[in-house]
Structure 1
Amino acid sequence: MDLSSFATATPAPALQHLVRNYWRIDARHLNALSRDDLMPIEGGSGWMLVVDGQLEFATGTCGHGGVFDASTGSSNRLLGLDQADVIGIRFHPGAQARFTHIPATEYRNTHIPLSEAGVATQRVLESLKRTNRWQERVSLLDRWLLSLVRAPTESHIVMQRLIKLILEQTMPLPASTLCEASGWSERHLQRNFHAGVGLSAQRLGKIARANVALRTIKRSSQARINLSHVALDHGYFDHAHMTRDFRQLFGIPPSSLIRPVKSLCSTRHRGVQ
């Protein structure tokens, strides 16, 4: 399959518990797609391999490999680009710790060269430049990441168990529940989350809840969906509470996601004419 303006791919099975997906984009066609599809706010982080050209973000210019953070919106705001050929790797929350020793606090809300994270990119970039077929590039990414991934430590295993627990809930879990599940003190819990994810456990829970509510609203085809009920079902105090979180995380109110339904009466009337 030849490269088009935008494509995604699932990584090899051995990487799927760590890598959510790969994406690539021809920046010359960026206006034809939603930027939110590239770097949604899900609490995970990722790498960008700028094969050609450069990208300018709110947090700086990125070229020839960089780290981006997808836990907040600030580092996802594109300001400018130079016809760049970009490939992205989206990690699950906390998973980047298996590929680099750098703490997540070093790259949250910013971009840093992958070389500063101890990741050499020259060889993989040269290989990616030699082909413009997406599936061949996906295979290259699989082999590269499999050569980088480290065996999990006991701390990694506990963290992934806690992250899975958080993401399965419809509302943030109290620190006491996570401490009981991990055997860690609250101080140790928060230190590990900031270093491994770049967020507090409560912040990750807040993001997870907002995404569950977001998917609930998007799945509904009814313009009359009761957003107050959605808010209460997902542990918000009220509709206003959910709206504040959506604006903070996604930059939009939940009401903007509701799709209008055509009037049945109007449809019938046009059919009679």
Structure 2
Amino acid sequence: MTTFNRSHFQRFAPTSQLANLVQCYWHVTYGEGQLAIADEYMHPEGGSGIIFNCADPIKIGNFLLKQGCTIVGPNRKSVHFTGLGRVEAFGIRFHPGAGHQFFGLPLTEIENTTIVPDDISLTRLCDHLMNELMMSASVEQWITAIEYHLFSHLLTIQKQNKSLSGKLDNRLAFAINWIDVNNGLKPISALNDELCLGQRQLDRLFKQHMGLAPKQYSRLRQNHYARYLLKTQLFDLSLTDIGYLAGFYDQAHFNHQFREVIGITPGQYRDKIIAKSRLYATRAC
């Protein structure tokens, strides 16, 4: 495989053909002796994905990935991404609910898990994608190749499972967008009224396609909004003000809920942002 340009972390948008299912493709690389990434987190946003490792072993939570690929299911908590030497990793990130179309199984079966492709009969697809990666001369060339294989896989799995359509269920798409637009701050009962669906029906729809209940996804979006405010209002708002805007009752509630999902308190998260900004500012001088 050709060594790609070193820029630590990059995101790449999918083409329009797969944009409704694929959130992004990404590439992360660090050489030995460069900035450590042992304290990096993969924050939960309701999606799932596939990770390819081309260098030294990496740890994803408690899962050790040597060279090869792994499937990451929807998580309810942040997961540590730890490089154990030189890092060269690539990923496909599916939109919330979209992984079901590629994996062909209810995502509750892989919730909060990191597994090998063989566990869900995806060995052939992942082998194709890994081979394309090893032969590609650029990230862009790899993306072109994997989109061909992903689209072919979609067509194949749809023939095997008539319930798969290659797109999100319209009710699910509406529900996800409703929760996103409201940053997880409105009660799910209001969503039930909008969709004219009972709570049990909505729960089944979400768990089948998302691996998460509506309230669990809403909670992830609320914490995502809190992280956004912590990054964008770093010096303008107090932690108490940010907690209030993000829909938490008080500082104790904010601390507890944020730490349960993200793994650290809002104050510790803010300190990490400040420390990183100072480090990069120093390196730029």
After TM superposition, list the pairs within 5 Å mapping 1:251-270 onto structure 2.
251-256=263-268, 257=270
Flag the 1:233–1:58 CA change in 2: closer, same or farther, 3 A.
closer
1:235 is aligned, of 223, 241, 247, to 247
How far, CA to CA, are the matches of 2:234 and 2:23 in structure 1?
27
Flag the 1:214–1:52 CA change in 2: closer, same or farther, 3 A.
closer
Structure 2 unaligned residues grouped into runs of 5+: 159-163, 275-285
Partner of 1:135: 140
- Contact 1:39/1:70 (8 A) holds in 2: no
Partner of 1:246: 258
How far, CA to CA, are the matches of 2:230 and 2:189 in structure 1?
30
Partner of 1:12: 15
SS state at 1:61 partner = strand
The TM-score normalised by the length of structure 1 is: 0.80
1:92 is aligned, of 95, 105, 112, to 95
Partner of 2:70: 66
1:208 and 2:212 matched: no
- Contact 1:10/1:20 (8 A) holds in 2: yes
Q: How many residues matched?
A: 258
After TM superposition, list the pairs within 5 Å mapping 1:4-153 onto structure 2.
4=6, 5-26=8-29, 28=31, 32=35, 34=37, 39-51=42-54, 54-63=57-66, 64-73=68-77, 76-78=79-81, 81=84, 83=86, 85-119=88-122, 120-149=125-154, 152=165
How far, CA to CA, are the matches of 1:219 and 1:30 in structure 2?
30
How far, CA to CA, are the matches of 2:222 and 2:32 in structure 1?
32
Flag the 1:12–1:216 CA change in 2: closer, same or farther, 3 A.
same
Q: Give aligned-pair identity as a percent.
A: 22
- Note the aligned Cα RMSD (angstroms): 3.0
SS state at 1:66 partner = strand
Partner of 1:264: none
Flag the 1:35–1:157 CA change in 2: closer, same or farther, 3 A.
farther
Flag the 1:136–1:189 CA change in 2: closer, same or farther, 3 A.
same
After TM superposition, list the pairs within 5 Å mapping 1:156-195 onto structure 2.
156-195=169-208
Structure 1 unaligned residues grouped into runs of 5+: 261-273
CA deviation after TM superposition for structure 1 residue 227, in Å = 2.2
The TM-score normalised by the length of structure 2 is: 0.77
- Contact 1:115/1:121 (8 A) holds in 2: no
| Bigger radius of gyration | 1
